[in-house]
Amino acid sequence: MATNGTEFESVRTVSVVRHYRLGRSLIPAVDGVSLAAGRGEFIALLGASGSGKSTLLNLIAGLDRPDSGAIVVEGSDLATMTSEQLAQYRRHTVGMVFQSFNLVPTMTLYENVELPMRFAEVKRKERRARVTEALERVGLSDRMKHRPSEMSGGEQQRAALARALANRPKLLLADEPTGNLDSKTGTEIMDLIRELNRTLEMTVIMVTHERSLAERYANRLVFLGDGKLVGESINELEKIGAAR
């Protein structure tokens, strides 16, 4: 279901290369990866640490720029964008969650979820409605005034998900979202991500090194090794199509 035509395509990378300079040598973190993700698809990027999966995710997130190749998201090529356009893209098209949650510790839950809307210049009245809506969706509407330090890891990651939803992005990028959680809470978070993927028709690209997790939730598994695409498998067990 993933590759039936460009109008259903959300993300396409074409021979993306990203090198890092380490002392005198050049490390090819991502070395010519071509990958496409259809709208509403749930892709898991798998690989050992140092395989380049996080670098690829950062490139798709617009936090980093490729040295060569193209990254086309929703019709526009990130490689040609100015940094202001990239910021615009991160603001409106992408939502991100991280292994270490990355909530601002000095802000309350409400303020954390509100933060991306400040950059997107959403009006104050609308912000309140959207924060409430996003927090309801992740089941944290009663914790608005709490700071991240007063919340469990699972709650923090749910808060991060709510924040990622605030600007209603089309693409959710998750970098080891369960890496800092126990398996029970990890499952809860993954259920939540799948629910968002289904009900909001968000394209999800998730970096993980847990194959079992990927097999349970993603409908396509992409394997990276040494910055290159080394394998791909459509997940037969996943019944997303049937559920729709």
Partner 1 sequence: MRAYDLIELAGRNLREAGLRNSLTTLGIGVGVASLVAMLSLGIGLQKLATRQLGRSGLFDTVVVTSRQDSRGPRFAQAAPVTAQTKPLDDVARHNFEQMANVAEVYPNFSAVGDVRLETDKTGNHFTVVGTLPQSARTGEAFDDVQGSFFSSGTAEEAIILGDFGRDLLNLPREPRGTDVKLTPDQANQLLGKYIVLRYHKREAGESAPLAGNTTKKGQADPDDVDSGDDIKAEDAQSFNLVPKTLKLKIVGIVSSEPNRGLRQGRTPMFLPLQLAESLDMVQAGELWSTLRPSENKTYIALIVRVAKSKAVSQVEDEIRKQGFSTFSILDASKGITRFFTFLDLFLGIFGSLALAVASLGIVNTLVMAILERRREIGIMKALGASDGDVKRIFFVEAGSMGILGGALGAGLGWTIGRAINFATNIYLQRQDIKPENFWVVPIWLVAAALGFSVFVSMFAGLYPASRAAKLDPVQALRHD
Task: Confirm or reject binding of residue 63 to partner 1 (CB under 8 A).
Answer: yes
Q: Is residue 52 a contact point for partner 1 (CB under 8 A)?
A: no
Of the residues 13, 51, 58, 203, which one makes contact with partner 1 according to CB under 8 A:
58
43, β-bridge pairs: 205, 220
What are the structure tokens assigned to 225, written together? 């090794």
Of 40-48, 55-63, 144-152, 232-240, the segment contacting partner 1 by CB under 8 A is 55-63
User: From CA 173, how far away is CA 67, in angstroms rounded?
Assistant: 21
| 51 belongs to the binding site for partner 1 (CB under 8 A) | no
Q: Does 27 bind partner 1 (CB under 8 A)?
A: no
Q: What is the DSSP letter of 150?
A: G
3 state SS for 19-82: EEEECCEEEEEEEEEEEEEECCCEEEEECCCCCCHHHHHHHHHCCCCCCEEEEEECCEEHHHCC
Closer CB to partner 1, residue 99 or residue 187?
A: 99
> Could you say whether residue 181 binds partner 1 (CB under 8 A)?
no
By beta-carbon proximity to partner 1, the closer residue of 102 and 233 is 102
Residues 118-137 that bind partner 1 (CB under 8 A): 118-121
Within a 10 A sphere around the Cβ of 144, how many other Cβ atoms?
16
Q: Cα–Cα distance between 229 and 32 in angstroms, integer? A: 8
CA distance 194 to 229: 24
Mask 70-99, x = binds partner 1 (CB under 8 A)?
-------------xx--xx-xxx---x-xx
Stretch that binds partner 1, among 43-51, 103-111, 186-194, 236-244 (CB under 8 A): 103-111
Closest by CA position to 31, among listed 206, 231, 205, 226 = 226
Is residue 115 part of the contact set for partner 1 (CB under 8 A)?
A: yes
Min. distance of Cβ 238 from partner 1 in angstroms? 28
Which span (37-45, 58-66, 132-140, 183-191) binds partner 1, by CB under 8 A?
A: 58-66
The C-alpha atoms of residue 212 and residue 119 are separated, in whole angstroms, by 37
Phi-psi bin for 193: left (phi > 0), alpha (psi -120 to 50), beta? Answer: alpha
User: Which one, of 162, 188, 219, 209, lies nearest residue 39 by Cα?
Assistant: 219
Does 61 bind partner 1 (CB under 8 A)? Our answer is yes
Q: How far is the CB of 54 from partner 1 (least distance, A)?
A: 9
CB of 239 to partner 1, least distance (A): 32
Would you count residue 152 as binding partner 1 (CB under 8 A)?
Answer: no
Closer CB to partner 1, residue 8 or residue 119? 119
Residue ranges in contact with partner 1 by CB under 8 A:
58, 61, 63-64, 83-84, 87-88, 90-92, 96, 98-100, 102-104, 106-107, 115-116, 118-121, 163, 167
